[in-house]
Structure 1
Amino acid sequence: MKRLVPVIAAALCASALAACGAGERGAAAGPVDQAGVQKAKDLITQLQNRPTALPSTTPVGKPVPPGKTVDFISCPAAECNQFAGLLTDSAKKLGWTLKAINTDGSPGSQQQAFAQIARDRADAAIYVGIDRTVYERYLPELKANGTWMVSACSTDEQGNGIDFAICTPEQQRDTGRLMAAEIVADSGGKANSVYVNVPAFTNLSKLRGEFLAATKEFCAACGTGTLDIPLTALGNGTPQLIVGYLRAHPDVDYVALAIDSLASGVPAALKAAGLDQVKIVGQGGGAATSQAIKTGDQLASVPWPYIETYLAGLDSVVRHVTGAPQLPSQLPRSWIVTKSNVAETDQTIDDIIPVVAGSDRMFQQLWGAAS
C-alpha cells in the first residue's frame, strides 16, 4: 500500500492552481468529435440492461462438508462493512462459520489480522485490497495450516500463495471506460472532468487509467485531471477537498469518483459552494448512491458486483474443500445505472445491490445449498 499523504498536504494540493496527480486541465476546445460521442452513447445503450446470469453455471456436484471456518478481513471503506454479513449468511447455508476481522487499513493492523488467521488455523481466508507484501511472512504458516487464500480487489496475481484472486485490476478496467463514456455522452463531447482517486486502494489504478484513456478516446478535446484523497480523509474531509479543487479549476463540470462512498456529503457541499452545476459519476453503488441518482444529486453509477465478487471467492473455497474443479476468476459484465433505470436497484441482498438479481441464490444452487 502506498504511503498515505497527510490530509493537510492534500488540502493544499486541492487548492493549488495545478492538478494533483496525472492529467490535463483546460477547457474542452476544438470541434466536437461526433463519432466519439456516438461511440460513448452506443456503449451506454449496450450496458444499460442489467445482466441476468452469472458468468458460469457449473454446479459443484459434490456434497459440501459442514463445519468449515472462513476468516474475512474487511477494509476501511464503508462498503466493506456490509460484506461480512453477506458472507456470514452464505456460510451458514453451507453449515460453516465465518469470522470477520476488522482493520483500520494500516499495514500493522492488517498484519495483526493475518496473524489471527494463522492462530485460528482457518480453512480459508478472504481479504480485501491487501498487498501481499503485508502478509508475505505469514504465507508459509498459512500454507502449512491448509488455509485457502482468496485475494479480493488487490493488484496481486493468483499463485505463489494466493489460491484465488477476484476483482483484479484487469476486471475493473471496463468500469472506468463506462464512467468516461457516460460523462462524454452527457456533455455532448464538451466535458471537463476530475477523477477523484484513493491512492491507498492500489487496486483502483487500472480503473483510473482506463477512465483517463477512454475519455481521450471518446473526446480528445475533453479536459481531465486527478485529485488524490488520502485514506485519513475518507468519511470526513473528502467534500472539502473536492470543493477546493473545483474552486481552483472552475472549468471542471464533472466529478468521477473512484468509489461511490466518496460522494457522502459532496452534493450538499457543492450546493453550499454554488457549484451545484457540477455532475457526479461514480462506481460501486449502494442504497445512498441509488437515492442520489433518483433525486438528481448524482448523474450515474456503475455498480460494482460486490455480491458476485465475494461469493465467487467463497465458491472457490467450496470447490477446494470438495475437490471440485475450480472455475476461472470472472465477474458479470458491467452495468450502468442512471435515472432511467435506477428503480432496478431497489432489489437488494443484505442491503447490497447485486449486479445480477438473485445472484446469492444462484451461487447457493451451485453449491446445492439453496433452500
Structure 2
Amino acid sequence: MKRILFALVAGLSALTLAACGAGEQAASSGPVDKAGVQRAKDTVAQYSTRPTELNVTAPVGKPVPTGKTVDFISCAAADCNVIAGVLKASAEKLGWTLNVINSDGSPDSQQKAFEQIVRDKADGAIYIAIDRSVYERYLPQLKANGTWLVSACSANEPGNGIDYAICTPDQQKGAGELMAAYIVADSGGQANSVYFNVPAFVNLVKMQDEFLARMKDLCASCPTATQDIPVTALGNGVPQLIVGYLRAHPQVNYVSLSIDSLAAGLPAALKAAGLDHVKIVGEGGGDTTWQYIKTGDQIASVPSPFVETYLAGLDSIVRHVSGAPQVPSQLARFWVVTKDNVGDTDVKVNGTLPVVAGSDAMFQKLWGVA
C-alpha cells in the first residue's frame, strides 16, 4: 500500500463514491485512431526498460561534515517506516543521525512533530505531504536554527521557508500519461475506462488531469470517466465500492488507479462479481502489486520512485551543509512494470523497490561515502 505513505489517513467511516469529470460511460464509438494507438505503443515501449541512471549526476565535490542530524516526520502507515529505513541507512554512511518523529496524520500531531524539529535544532528535516499551513508558524524558528527544510509529495512550492521540494504535482503527472498510454495500447484503441482518484492526496491532482488529457489525445473515441474515493475509505471496503460502480457501468473494461493500494483485494472482488474481464492499471507499486502482475490479476503499474525521492531530499541537505551547489529537483525517470519485466522488482533497498537499481549506492558515491 505504497501510496498511503504520501498522505496521512484519518478515521474510517462508511462512504460512497462521487462521480466527477467525464460523465456517463458509453460503448466505444467511432473509428479506431490507429495513429494514436501506435503513439501509445511507442510510449509504453520507451518506458518499459528500467532506468539505469539517476537524474542527479553531479558529485558534491566537497568534504561532507559528519555528526549532522536530520529529522524525518514519519506517518501512521507501516510503509513510512520503510522510507525511514532507507534514509537511516544512508545517514549512517554519512556519519549522521536520523531521528524518526512519528505522526498519526492529525494537524495536532504534525505540529508537535515540527515543535520537535525546532527543539532538536536539526540540520535538516524531511516530511511527507504536510501542507505548509500546518507548520507556518514554526518557519521563522526553523530558519533561525539553520534547519534545511525538505518537502516531499506536497502541493507547496519551494521558497518562503521551504528549501527544497520534490515529488511535486508537476513532477508526478507523467505517471498519468503512461497509464493512459498503456490502456490505449493494450486495448487497441477500444478502451472504456474509469480513473479512481483520492483527492486528499493533493500531490496527485495533476496525474488525473494528465491521464484524462492523454486518453483524449490518443483515443478520442474511448469513453473515460473519473470517480473520487475519500481517503477515509482506504482499508474500508474500497473493492466493494469499485465493484458497485462497475456493476452500474457494465461496459467499462479498464480500471485505472491513482494509487495501487486501492487494488488490495480488488481482483478477488471482481472475480466474485463476474467482472474478471476488467483490467487494472495502477501507480505506486508495492509487493501486493507485483504479485498481482505476476499472476495476471493486474496488467501494469507505474512504480513510484520512493528511494530516489527521499534520497534526493537527503542529497539536498548534504549539499547545503557542505556548501556545494544545489541541483535541480527531479524525480527519477518513470518505468512501466508489466508481466514481461515484473521479475526486476524482486531486488529491493531496505525493503522497498528502487526505480533505478542501486540508486542508494549511486547517491552515496556522489557524497563520497560509497
User: Could you give the per-residue CA deviations for residues 322-345 of structure 1, whole angstroms, max 9, x where no partner exists?
Assistant: 101111111221111111111111
Structure 2 CA distance for partners of 1:228 and 1:77, relative to 1, 3 Å: farther
Structure 2 CA distance for partners of 1:208 and 1:78, relative to 1, 3 Å: farther
User: Could you give the per-residue CA deviations for residues 266-320 of structure 1, whole angstroms, max 9, x where no partner exists?
Assistant: 1111112221111111111122211110100111001111111000000000000
Alpha-carbon distance between aligned partners in 1 of 2:176 and 2:115, rounded to the nearest angstrom? 35
CA contact (8 A) 1:75 1:129 kept: no
Alpha-carbon distance between aligned partners in 1 of 2:289 and 2:327, rounded to the nearest angstrom? 32
2:21 aligned with 1:22: yes
1:7 positional shift: 4.2
* Residue number in structure 2 paired with 1:170: 170
Output aligned runs, 1:47-66, within 5 Å: 47-66=47-66
SS of equivalent residue, structure 2 residue 20 = coil
Structure 2 CA distance for partners of 1:257 and 1:321, relative to 1, 3 Å: same
* Residue number in structure 2 paired with 1:131: 131
CA contact (8 A) 1:2 1:200 kept: no
Alpha-carbon distance between aligned partners in 1 of 2:179 and 2:360, rounded to the nearest angstrom? 26
CA contact (8 A) 2:9 2:76 kept: no
Output aligned runs, 1:331-346, within 5 Å: 331-346=331-346
TM-score w.r.t. the length of structure 2 is 0.93
2:44 aligned with 1:44: yes
User: Could you give the per-residue CA deviations for residues 26-50 of structure 1, whole angstroms, max 9, x where no partner exists?
Assistant: 2221111111111101100111111
User: Could you give the per-residue CA deviations for residues 178-225 of structure 1, whole angstroms, max 9, x where no partner exists?
Assistant: 000001111111111111111111000011110111111111111112
* Residue number in structure 1 paired with 2:4: none
Alpha-carbon distance between aligned partners in 2 of 1:323 and 1:2, rounded to the nearest angstrom? 34
1:81 positional shift: 3.4
Q: Which moved more, 1:52-61 or 1:96-105?
A: 96-105
* Residue number in structure 2 paired with 1:194: 194
Q: Which amino acid aligns with 2:102?
A: N
User: Could you give the per-residue CA deviations for residues 40-86 of structure 1, whole angstroms, max 9, x where no partner exists?
Assistant: 01100111111111112211122221221111123455543311111
Structure 2 CA distance for partners of 1:246 and 1:311, relative to 1, 3 Å: same
Alpha-carbon distance between aligned partners in 1 of 2:13 and 2:20, rounded to the nearest angstrom? 15
Q: Which amino acid aligns with 1:80?
A: C
Identity %: 68
CA contact (8 A) 2:63 2:322 kept: yes
1:101 positional shift: 2.1
2:259 aligned with 1:274: no
* Residue number in structure 2 paired with 1:72: 72
Alpha-carbon distance between aligned partners in 1 of 2:75 and 2:196, rounded to the nearest angstrom? 19
* Residue number in structure 1 paired with 2:351: 351
* Residue number in structure 2 paired with 1:203: 203
SS of equivalent residue, structure 1 residue 194 = strand
Unaligned ranges ≥5, structure 2? 1-6
Q: Which amino acid aligns with 1:20?
A: A
Unaligned ranges ≥5, structure 1? none
Structure 2 CA distance for partners of 1:225 and 1:80, relative to 1, 3 Å: farther
Alpha-carbon distance between aligned partners in 1 of 2:9 and 2:361, rounded to the nearest angstrom? 40
CA contact (8 A) 1:6 1:230 kept: no
Structure 2 CA distance for partners of 1:59 and 1:3, relative to 1, 3 Å: closer
User: Could you give the per-residue CA deviations for residues 8-29 of structure 1, whole angstroms, max 9, x where no partner exists?
Assistant: 3x42xx3xxxx62222322221
Q: Which moved more, 1:82-91 or 1:235-244?
A: 235-244
Q: Which amino acid aligns with 2:189?
A: G
1:112 positional shift: 2.2
Alpha-carbon distance between aligned partners in 2 of 1:299 and 1:308, rounded to the nearest angstrom? 24
SS of equivalent residue, structure 1 residue 104 = coil
* Residue number in structure 2 paired with 1:236: 236
Alpha-carbon distance between aligned partners in 2 of 1:64 and 1:88, rounded to the nearest angstrom? 17
Aligned length: 363
